[in-house]
Amino acid sequence: MNNQKYVVIARFDEQMTNRLEQLRKTLHEKGILKKFSQWSPHITFAAYDGIDIEVLLNWTKQFTQKTRCFEISISSLGILPPSESYPDTIVLFAAPSPSKKLIDNYYAFHEKLDCCSGEIGWHYTKKCIHPYPIHSSIGVFEKEQVQKAMDIILENNIFKLAKITALEVYTYPMKLIERFDLA
């Protein structure tokens, strides 16, 4: 049985990617960012456990061939609270407005393959009653650093329009398998 985990992510246009990467760099240079992510800025669309990679790649290709680039608005910040495993840290994220275009595309991708989500992808599926918020993680922060981080995030003005231009399929941990540009 294939135990490999895969993640499908939505890529921002170059301008938003650069803006979010610069923000992370600033937070890191100021010693506020606890953990620097190896992942470039993105929105996770789906995650899978043990799926046949050719099935996933074929579905992603079919989906992207019929899906146009679409605009989103990064409109708010959110927090993923401390967990039992990491009680002293929080994840701060940028969240897009839940526009019809974003929600429709996000859940259209889940028309197939949700049966393969496994534990890693359950909270991204249509079956999950309380899914993760659609978001782009900025970083992991010690609880006492959150206000400083939020001040820097607000100074960097990431609240802009952006485009989703591609979906990419990765192994988890991160290794790019294939990029699919949206039509």
Residues 11-58 pLDDT 10s: 999 999 999 999 999 999 999 998 778 889 999 999 999 899 999 999
CATH class label, 5-181? alpha beta
Phi, psi of 65 (to 5 degrees): -70, -25
Residues 70 and 101 sit within 8 Å (Cβ to Cβ)? yes
| Cα torsion 110, 173, 83, 10: sign | negative
DSSP notation for 90-146: EEEEEEE---HHHHHHHHHHTTS-GGG-HHHHGGGSSS-SSPPPP-EEEEEEEGGGH
Q: Where are the domains of the chain?
A: 5-181
Residues 67-84 pLDDT 10s: 999 999 999 999 999 989
User: Average per-residue pLDDT in the chain?
Assistant: 94
The pLDDT, as a whole number, for residue 1 is 53
pTM: 0.93
